[in-house]
Structure 1
Amino acid sequence: MDKLKHIKVDKWSKKKNVVAKNKREAIREAFASDLQVEVIPAINTENPLVHKKLRVAAYCRVSTFEEAQAGSFELQIQSYSEKIRKNSKWSLVDIYADQGVSGTSTNKRENFNRMLEDCRMGKIDLIIVKSISRFSRNLLDFTSINRELKALDKPVGIYIEDVNLNTLDSNSELLLGLMSLIAQSESEQKSASIRWALIEKFKKGIPIFPTHNLLGYTKSQFGKIEIVEEEAEIVRYIYDGYLAGNTVKEIAQALTDASIPTVMGKATWSSASIYSILKNEKYCGDILMQKTYTVDCFTHKTRKNTGQRPQYRVTDGMPAIISRGNWDAVQKQLKEPHKRRARADIKPVEKKVHIRRIKSGFFKDFMVINTKWTKEELQEVYKLEGIISEKETEKDGRNEF
C-alpha cells in the first residue's frame, strides 16, 4: 500500500515538473520568435472622465437649521451651481441638498437618497462634494456607496473638493478609507461630548425636554417652562374624569366629540394618548430625565431606558398642573386596571372655543385657525385675542378673517 502511494506521488511530481518546464519553454520561444502582435487600444467607455460633456451634480449638507449654518448651506448651493454652469465640459444635473440632518446615517437624507437613485438610473456621471464629511460620516456607508457607484454600468465618480480627489482614480481607495475613518471618529467624539454635556446637566437638575408635544406647557423665549392655561384645562379634565371612574376610551371619545384637537393638532384622541398624559410625572411638577437613550450615533435609534442607563429625578422642578394627591391616586388606579371602580357618567366637555397655538419653530405662538369654526366662533376668538373689540362683535357681522 505504501509502495503504491509513493508511485502516485512520484508520478504527480514528474507531471508537475513537466508542466513547469513546458511553461518556461513557451515563454522563451515567444520572445525568441519575435511575433508581431497588434495592440488594439482600449476605449474606456466606463470612465465618465472620458465623456465629452460630464453630467455633474453637487451634494450639499449642513446638520442644523441654525443661522450660522444657514449661510454656509446657501453658499454651497449657489457656489456649486455657478461652478458647474461655468464649466463648458460639464452639464448641471441638479443640486441635491439636505439641511438639518446628520451625516452619520442616510435614513433621513431625502435628497441624498434621491441623488443615489438618479445615479442608479444613469443620470449622473460625477458628484461634487465639499468634503468627505459632507457626504458621509459613517465609514461603512461611504465605502459601500462608493463601491456601488463605481460598479454601476456607467460608473459614477465622487469628487471631494477640499482634497482634490476623485473616487474613480485607481489609487484613491486607501486614502478615501482613511479620510472616511477620520470623519467617523470626529462624529463619534462630537456625539460623546454632547452626551457628556447632557449627563452633566441632568446631574445638576437642568431640565432638557421639548414642550411642543407636551399638552399644557410651553417654553418662554428664555427657555423657562410655563403653563398654557387653555391646554391645562384639558389635562385637568382627563385626570378628574379618570378619578371619577371614566375609562380612557370614554375620555378620549368625549374630547373627540367636543372637537378639541390633540397637542399635535389631530382631530381624534386615542386611548394611548390619554394613558400617556396620565402616566407623565411632569404634570405633578416632577421631571424624570433620561427615560430613553440613543444606541449609537450612526443609527440614531432610541430605546426605552429600563435600567441600562442611570436616570435623574427632580421633584417639584417645574410648574404643576395636577396636585400630587391626584397624581398619586391616578398612579395607584393605573397599577390596578382590573379592580372594580365606582363608575360615573362622563362629564361633558365645557362648550367653548379651544384655541390651539404653534408651540415651536418659526411660527411659535401663532394661532391655528380651525376651518370648522362658525362665524360666531371666529368672532369670539378675535375678541379673546384682542383682534377686534367688544363693540365690533355687536355689529352686523362684517368682520371676516
Structure 2
Amino acid sequence: MIAVDGARASARATRPEAHVGAGTAVHLAHRALARGPAVMVVDAHVESRLPGSLTGAFAARLVHRGRATVDSARHLAALLERTGARSVFIAGGGSVIDVAKLAVASLDDSRLLGAIARHGRDRGVMHRGAPGSEASLFVAPTTVGTGAESSTGLVVEVASGGERFAVLVVAPGTGIEAIAFDDDLLRLPDPLLRDGVYEAITRVAAAAFESPSSLPLADREAYDLLAALAAVGRRIGEGGRDDGRHAAFPRDSIAVDAALLSSASHSGWALAGRGFAPSSAWFIATELSMALGVRKAAALGLAFRPYLETFLTPARATRLQSIGAALGVAGEPSAIDDALTRLLAPEPVTRAIDAEYVADRVVRRFGRAGPLSPELARERIVAILAAAETRRRTS
C-alpha cells in the first residue's frame, strides 16, 4: 500500500492503542459495546473463533466474504445508519478492515462511494475531506501484510467492463481507536503468512530504496524493521511449509510478531519523510495483480527484481547495500530478490503478462497529475513488465 507521508499523517490522526495476546479481541469488542449501539463486522473465515454470546450482543452483525467493494461498503454504511452505531468492532483481514473504514468515511461524505464507482477505472487515488463525527473502530486483524489496521488509507476494488481496478482512498482520519493482535484470531495458513511477511518486507524495502527520507531516524527504523521481518521470515522457513489446507499454529506466535511488524511499517517512522508515494513498485504490482487476477504478493514476486534493476542509481545502490545487510544478504537486486522469493508462497501465474496493456493502466490511473514518479515513464514500465513476463515463463 502507498504510505501517506508521515509528517502530514501525524497531523491527521492519533496512533491507535495496541493490545497483544490471546483474548484481547474480546476485550476490544466489549469496549465497543460499552459505547452504545455497536455493529460487528467479521470475516467469514474467523467468525467461529468468537464467542457466540459476544456476537449476539451487537446491534447488528455483518459477515464479510470476498473483496472490498463499493457495494459492500454501501451495505455496511446503511447498516450503521439504521442501527445508529457509535462504534464498530472489526475482526478480519485487510479487505474487511477497508470495507469498514470506507463505510464509516462515507457517512460523512455522501458522494464518496458514487465518486469511486464512477471514476475508479481511471483514477487510482482519491482523497476524502476532513472527517466529521465518526464511529470509533476497534480492530482485530486476522491477516498479515497489508497493515490496513494502522494505515491512513484504504483500498477498494471497482469493476468496469469486465476489468477490475483497485482504488486507494486517502483519508485524513480512519477512526481506528484500538487494535488487538490476538493469537486466537491470527492463525494463518502457511501461504498467507509467507505472503504477508513478503508484502511487508517489499513495502519497506522499496520505499527505503527508491525514496530517501528527510528524517534521519526513518532510515534507521526502516533497516531495523527489515531485519526484524527477515528474522520472522527465517522462523517461518525453519518451520517448513504446509499444504495451505489447514491453519498453522506457530508455537512461538510467529503470526503475531509478523502482524505487529507489518503494522509498524505504517504506524512508525520507517516510511515517513519520503513523500506521498515513496515506492513505484506499488503501482506496478497493483495493476499487474488486477490484470492477472492473482495475489499482490505473486505480482510483486514477478516485478520486484526488474523494478530494483530499473531504478538503480549510485545513490540507491548505497541504500540497497544497507537493505541487503538488514536482510542478511548481498546488497544487489538478484541476491535480495532470491532471498525474498524463497519466502514467498508459490502461486502459479498461468496468464501471460501483456506489458503494453498493464503499462497503459498504470499511466492512465496514476500518471499525469497523479502520484506516479516522473522517473517511471511508460517505456520503463513496459520494460519492467516485459522482464516480469520472462520471469513468469521461466519460473
What TM-score do you get using the length of structure 2 for normalisation?
Answer: 0.23
Higher alpha-carbon Rg: 1
Higher relative contact order (CA 8 A, sep 6+): 2
What TM-score do you get using the length of structure 1 for normalisation?
Answer: 0.23
